[in-house]
Amino acid sequence: MTQVQITIQLPDQVESIEQLEAVIDAKGQQIKPQLFEHQLAFLIQRQKAAAEDVACPECKKKNHLQRLSAPSAKDQIRTYFLCPAAAEVPTLWRLFQLNSGCLADLKALAEANISPGLKQVAIDCAAAWPYRPAQQSIQRLIGVAISHEQIRQPCLQEAVRVEAQEQANFQQAYEPALAETVEVLVEEQPRPKKPPQIEPCERVYLGIDGTLIKARAQNRFMEAKVGIVFSHQLAVVGTNRRRLLNKQCVGTLQSVHQFSQQLFTTARGMGIDNQEQLVILSDGARWINRLAQTQDPKAPLILDWWHLKRRVWPTVRGLPADELSDQERRAWGQQWIDQLWRGQSSQTLQSIMILAPQLGGQPSEKPAQLEERSLLALHQLISNNRAAIIDYHHFQQSGYYIGSALVEKTVDLLVCRRQKLRGQNWSRTGADGLLCWRQMILNDQWDDYWQQPEAA
């Protein structure tokens, strides 16, 4: 351990703690370059002994390498070694490559002008706050003044490494799992329209949802796709409060295919290799239903009751008042709610088909021509999700989740609290990079990642 003693002369006019802190901080900024040069000279001297024992990869000999020094793009001297006995193209070695552990911090400083520790703090703050508030928070908390661009760039650059590492892991787990899924699709019959059977086994839920964030292009939005895989293992953390013990979140702004790979291999990584263990919660979006049917064809699919109920009552209130009284509209709405609660989607569709002609509409109209709160749009929603409308009463009594509160909360924590603030607009790369870090924090993988040598 190297000990450095510093003597600081303080002016007599220091009269408060704030002035004292300012003086010490100014002196520290002056001393920092000298300490850096001293430590750099010490580390380079310590590397000389190791350099003498390095063998050339070309001729396998030692003690004949010539030392060369060349300035880098940032006017820093880097040391190379040249083998005179090598082939026509000589082999150049950077001194930093001799021992990546000793000079890891200095290498990071040379590449990004920010130390690994500060980079970790900067990314952590950027994942929680916008870049400028993160810059101010870092300065207040640890007294380091860096620009918001010095926070943004390492955040995006390191996210690229994380995504590349995750993609390699996904491909490794996805290919054998995909082969099993293809076998199931070939051997099994088409998905039945009847509700799934309840079996006494440990259930694992796969909740999927999406939310729109504003893109940089005017009047354009991008969809952030979010999923959560969780089991029914709860811990009591307070009065009427429970916490999930086993859960993993996934989020991306990339294609549905890439999102499905991440979600599928995340479930595999949690030890879920039986599709019958899964229960998929959906809000009725077509891309979610297609993903479930192609990727987990044997898993039960449940249309979230909250989304279904939320579509019924606005539709009822939108029925023409000159055709139906308030009492008649409430009666129709309560009838549909009772039928859907019991999983009787066919009866609901029949009653809508009876009512629609009386109000001047036909359920056969195309969805693109329908308003969200129209009676025909409700008919289309129920028709598209008949296989996912189950007997909610029965399933709830059997201990199943029938709502998407956990999925909605995951969307809020993963995306909305950071990327849907007032005045924000995003590029796909920038938004996806931040989503990567927030996912890592929510999944309790932050410390594990920064303990890896390649993350230093």
> Using one digit for the tens of pLDDT, what is the confidence trace for 61-75?
655 555 444 444 334
User: Considering only 14-18, 145-149, 239-243, 430-434, which range has the smallest mean pLDDT?
Assistant: 14-18
* Long-range CB contacts (within 8 A, 24+) of 393-397: 393/341, 393/342, 394/198, 394/343, 395/198, 395/302
Instruction: Name the residue among 347, 334, 342 with its Cα closest to residue 402.
Output: 342
Residues 112-139: pLDDT tens digits?
457 788 888 899 999 999 998 999 988 8
Residue 239 has pLDDT above 90, yes or no: no
- The confidence band for 50, taking pLDDT boundaries of 50, 70 and 90, is low
pLDDT at 206 over 70: yes
Predicted structure pTM score: 0.68
Q: Mean of the pLDDT values across residues 99-122?
A: 58
Q: How many helices (H) and strands (E) does the chain have?
A: 16, 10
Among 264, 232, 280, CA closest to 390: 280
Q: Give the pLDDT of residue 112.
A: 46
**What share of the chain has pLDDT > 70, as a percent?**
73
Q: Please tell me the predicted confidence (pLDDT) of residue 296.
A: 84
Q: Above 50 in pLDDT, residue 344?
A: yes
Place of tokens 């990314």: 123
Residue ranges with strand state E in 77-199 = 77-82, 92-94
Task: Pick 15 or 340 by higher pLDDT.
Answer: 340
What average pLDDT score do residues 149-161 get? 89
Per-residue pLDDT band for 86 (boundaries 50, 70, 90) equals very low
Across 55-69, 272-286, 365-379, the highest mean pLDDT is recorded for 272-286
Between 95 and 182, the more confident residue is: 182
User: Which 3 state secondary structure label does DSSP give 200?
Assistant: coil
At 389 the pLDDT is 95
Strand partners, 82: 66, 92
Tell me what pLDDT residue 373 has.
73
Of 97-111, 254-268, 310-324, 420-434, the poorest mean pLDDT is in: 97-111
